Copies of this chain bind each other. A is one copy, B any other.
Amino acid sequence: MAGFTHVEGLSSADVQRLRATYEPLAQSVRELVDATIRSEVDADDVAAAKAHIEAATELLRARQIDGPFGVRITSDGDRMPWGNPAIGIRNAIAPPLRMVRDDDGVMSTDFHLGAAYEGPPGHVHGGIVAMVLDHVLGEVAANDPLTPRFTGTLTIRYLRATPLGDLRAEGWITRTDGIKTFAVGHVRDAAGITAEAEGVFIPPKWARG
């Protein structure tokens, strides 16, 4: 398996410039994903919108990388997981989650999920809840951001349906045993916890150095 892509010649200022270019683009695509689900306009207006979308895609594809984005590490040490479907600022599928680690080692993220994440009417798809929890637990398990941890096992208990809207997820490490890191966490809304998770995470062979 390929590891990180090490990108030479990109300064932190270059990374900020690229971020300023592509983050608003992806945000506009997120709005479009939502509008595509919720629109009630007629076939002619849909056709006109589709023509605009295809024009945008053609402009963006004029020069593109050959394959997925990967996880890029610059020579300045900037980590760019920008294509990631949970946290990727360039990925319109990602809410994106913005992860914060506090002084006690708790990883948390406050986020908002709208129409694009709906499973049961008005509520978050159970698989999206799983994706958020997998990401938060995996990220807290990777204490060193340059040493990834892959999920070994993940168990989720759904206490009640998670409503669409403003949510928070938290995760922390409970213990380590050799290369295994054990983590737990939950998703909550304003009324309390909706789903709990526990997982075991291990570094991939290529990152065990």
A binding-site residues for B, Cβ under 8 Å = 1-5, 21-22, 24-26, 28-29, 31-33, 35-43, 45-46, 48-50, 52-57, 59-65, 67-71, 82-86, 88, 90-93, 114-123, 125-128, 130-135, 138, 148, 150-158, 161, 164, 204
Q: Tell me whether A122 and B155 are in contact in the complex, defined as CB-CB below 8 angstroms, given that A33-B91, A36-B22 are known contacts.
A: no
Are B45 and A62 in contact, CB atoms less than 8 angstroms apart? yes
Which residues does chain B contribute within 8 Å of A25, judged by CB atoms? Answer: 36, 46, 49-50, 53
Copy number in this complex?
A: 2
Q: Do the beta carbons of B38 and A69 come within 8 Å of each other? A: yes
The docked-state distance in angstroms from the alpha carbon of A80 to that of B20 is 38
Question: How many angstroms between the C-alpha atoms of A123 and B154 in the bound complex?
Answer: 18
Q: Which of B28, B56, B83, B134 contacts A115 (CB 8 A)?
A: B83
A128-B85, A154-B155, A156-B153 are known contacts. Are A32 and B50 too (CB-CB below 8 A)?
A: no
